[in-house]
Amino acid sequence: MTAAYVALEGGHVIEGRGRAPGTARGELVFTTAYTGYEESLTDPSYEEQILTFSYPLIGNYGVREERFEDDRVHPRAVLARELTDDVADWLESEGVPAIDHLDTREVVTDIRDGGAMKCGIAVGEDATKEDALNELEACKGMSEHTEIGAQVSVDEPVVRGADNDGETVALVDCGAKGSIVDSLVARDATVHVLPHDTSVEDVEAIDPDILFVSNGPGDPANYEQAVSLVEAFVEETPVAGICLGQQIVARALGGTTEKMAFGHRGVNQPVLDLESDRVVMTTQNHGYTVDEPGEHLEVSQINVNDDTPEGLDGVEYDVLTRQYHPEANPGPEDTLDFFDDVLAMAGDRSQRAVPADD
């Protein structure tokens, strides 16, 4: 059996079975999703993290590329109770270390009780506990990556749905899942997928009907240019955001964000809509949340489990954001109408530009 070790903060080292060789370091998190492992593993929001699957068997329906959210695996390493050969082979081909035959209940409990933590991974024929501990020490010495957006964003603008005749969307790509873009294009929008550090001038040249800020990894405080874009356009252009996008929009409009103990990751998070009093099930993947929305936004939806904001609406501006993933890949499709609501905000901009009668 190939040696495999996971070194946790505090010095605890867990031994498992190596399924894909290599070393890795990063933040250890878990997802409660039963299915959708292909979507989770290709979600850019998992960049620089070690992903633990709490469901005991990962890979029982194979690996199909059409389910991928991006063109590569984003977690730095993967832990599971049992990985099928299909998934293990895929991870090895991607150069992502993988370990199974772990008590993932213990790992999840450690994260739940102690919060997301740094860890080191070592897998290989000659791997040792010391190798994993060395990775952990190197990880402890790392500050949170302030340029993480550059690792997951497009390098150059990309246009999707160029032949569509609906709304024009400027999507700020902070690590967007492919299905978010697909959801907009399927509704006849033309989507300009833009680098996370796109300038105000470049967005002005597009003259979008909607500015849309995507999901992505890391601390929203590190996406200063995306915050500046929201500040520049919010008074004249409808603004929408998903996940990290909600946090960026809140920061742009005077709100604050904070890191959560272990975040929300899975496809079974209940969300209460405060106006309709309806609960929907949602897909989520985030480690930060909006603490205070500020005076320009109001909380429209909350998480049933911990009351954190799940939806924000503009008080005086056309703003609509969600902390969860309405595109639902993977997960329930309770909230797909979010994209219809976003595109409906576009309306007739010329009408909004006309001052109201006294």
**What are 240-274's pLDDT values in tens digits?**
999 999 999 999 999 999 999 999 999 999 999 99
Does some domain include residue 77?
Answer: yes
> Do 168 and 60 belong together in one domain?
no
Does some domain include residue 66?
Answer: yes
- Residue 31 structural domain: 3-140
| From 135, 167, 243, 286, the catalytic residue | 243
> Do 46 and 164 belong together in one domain?
no
Radius of gyration for the alpha carbons in the chain, expressed in angstroms and rounded: 21
350's CB contacts (< 8 A; 6+ apart) are none
Q: Which candidate, 73, 79, 119, places its Cα nearest to that of 96? A: 73
> Do 86 and 172 belong together in one domain?
no
Q: Which candidate, 29, 12, 4, places its Cα nearest to that of 131? A: 4
Tell me what the pLDDT averaged over the chain comes to.
Answer: 94
- The count of other CB atoms within 10 Å of the CB of residue 207 is 10
> Do 234 and 337 belong together in one domain?
yes
> Do 176 and 84 belong together in one domain?
no
195: domain CATH number is 3.40.50.880
> Do 49 and 174 belong together in one domain?
no
Does some domain include residue 226?
Answer: yes
Does some domain include residue 37?
Answer: yes
* Domain termination site, one of 120, 140, 160: 140
> Do 136 and 248 belong together in one domain?
no
Tens digits of residue pLDDT in 14-24: 999 999 999 99
> Do 123 and 99 belong together in one domain?
yes
- What does the DSSP assignment read for 36-104? -HHHHHT-GGGTTEEEEE-SSEE-TT---GGG-SSSS--SSEEE-SEE-HHHHHHHHHTT--EEES--H
| From 192, 286, 296, 325, the catalytic residue | 325
DSSP class of residue 222 equals: G
139 flagged as catalytic: no
> Do 105 and 179 belong together in one domain?
no
> Do 134 and 159 belong together in one domain?
no
% residues pLDDT > 70 (the chain): 96
125 flagged as catalytic: no
Q: Retrieve residue 63's tokens.
A: 């690996």
Does some domain include residue 10?
Answer: yes
Does some domain include residue 241?
Answer: yes
Does some domain include residue 358?
Answer: no
Give me the number of domains the chain comprises. 2
pLDDT above 70: residue 230: yes
Which residues fall in the annotated binding site? 45, 216, 218, 244, 247, 285, 287-288
For residue 106, the number of C-alpha atoms closer than 13 Å in the C-beta half-sphere is 11
42: domain CATH number is 3.50.30.20
At 3 the pLDDT is: 97
Tens digits of residue pLDDT in 166-202: 999 999 999 999 999 999 999 999 999 999 999 999 9
% residues pLDDT > 90 (the chain): 91
Does some domain include residue 116?
Answer: yes
In this structure, of 87-101, 157-171, 172-186, 334-348, the range with the lowest mean pLDDT score is 334-348
Residue with tokens 């832990």: 79
74 flagged as catalytic: no
* Domain termination site, one of 140, 167, 194: 140
> Do 200 and 313 belong together in one domain?
yes
> Do 57 and 157 belong together in one domain?
no
* Domain termination site, one of 116, 140, 164: 140
Q: Which candidate, 237, 215, 226, 243, places its Cα nearest to that of 168? A: 237
Which residues fall in the annotated binding site for L-glutamine? 45, 216, 218, 244, 247, 285, 287-288
